[in-house]
């Protein structure tokens, strides 16, 4: 449920500057976001600023903002541009779906995406549909590529490892090491370790 309009909505301002582009200043984003919040009579509950590339998983301020959202400490998330907020359309849609489930609105200043309006809601649903369509296309391409490789006689599964390496996996497991530690110690992919131990378990 959306918050009632009998009090000012609490807004979180999120800004990010990339570590790849030297000389960037988040102040450019924040000045416009503060001005916008003031015009909308929003109460700024916090400003969250990350200095990180768009692909990194370690955006500390982003995580703090999401934590505040989940604790219902805000009503609106306001960003300067959505590529400052999310690394992909799918990531943006996923975040917006989570906000929607919590009754939190999302506004992108530059793109004029505003889920507090009917038009903004429509744009969100269009973006969600496009993201789903893109995901389906990628899945179809991957399946078609695997089918083509199989028809050409190419290996599409993980290559087998030697019996000596398999025995090393089993020996380390007997010593009580976790699959993650076995993977790191032997330099073998975690999925490969998991597959061989699972097969051994099924055989027993």
Q: What domain range is 186 assigned to? A: 163-198
Would the CA dihedral through 133, 138, 141, 142 be positive or negative?
negative
Q: What is the pLDDT of residues 115-139, one digit of tens each?
A: 888 876 777 667 656 556 555 656 6
Q: How confident is the model at residue 1 (pLDDT cuts 50, 70, 90)?
A: very low
Question: Residue 154 domain-assigned?
Answer: no
From 90, 121, 152, give the residue that closes a domain.
121
From 93, 121, 149, give the residue that closes a domain.
121
Q: Is 90 exceeded by the pLDDT of residue 52?
A: no
Mean pLDDT (whole number) for 139-160: 68
From 60, 91, 121, give the residue that closes a domain.
121
What CATH number has the domain bearing residue 175?
1.10.10
Q: Is 50 exceeded by the pLDDT of residue 3?
A: no
What is residue 68's predicted lDDT score, i.e. its pLDDT?
94
Beta bridge partners of 47: 13
Question: Residue 112 domain-assigned?
Answer: yes
Per the CB < 8 A criterion, the answer to whether 70 and 62 are in contact is no
| Residues 107 and 33 reside in one and the same domain | yes
Mean pLDDT (whole number) for 173-179: 85
What is residue 199's predicted lDDT score, i.e. its pLDDT?
76
What is each CA distance from 118 to 71, 79, 105, 127, 173, in whole angstroms?
26, 19, 12, 14, 57
Distance (Å, whole) CA 125 – CA 143 = 27
More confident: 92 or 104: 104
- How many domains is the chain partitioned into structurally? 2
Q: How confident is the model at residue 18 (pLDDT cuts 50, 70, 90)?
A: confident
């Amino acid at each position: 449920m959306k918050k009632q309009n009998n009090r000012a909505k609490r807004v979180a301002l999120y800004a990010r500057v990339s570590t790849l582009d030297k000389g960037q200043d988040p102040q450019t984003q924040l000045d416009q976001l503060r001005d916008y919040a003031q015009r909308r009579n929003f109460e700024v509950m916090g400003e969250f600023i990350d200095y990180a590339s768009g692909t990194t998983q370690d955006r500390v301020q982003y995580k703090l903002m999401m934590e505040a959202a989940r604790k219902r400490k805000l009503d609106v998330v306001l960003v300067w541009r959505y590529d400052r907020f999310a690394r992909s359309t799918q990531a943006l849609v996923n975040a917006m779906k989570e906000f929607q489930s919590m009754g939190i609105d999302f506004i992108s200043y530059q793109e004029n995406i505003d889920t507090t309006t009917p038009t903004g809601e429509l744009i969100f649903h269009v973006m969600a549909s496009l993201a789903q369509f893109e995901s389906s296309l990628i899945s179809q391409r991957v399946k078609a590529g695997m089918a083509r490789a199989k028809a050409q006689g190419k290996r599409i599964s993980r290559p087998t490892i030697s019996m000596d390496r398999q025995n090393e996996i089993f020996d380390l497991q007997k010593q009580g090491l976790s699959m993650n530690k076995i993977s790191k110690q032997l330099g073998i992919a975690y999925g490969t370790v998991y597959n061989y131990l699972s097969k051994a378990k099924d055989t027993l």
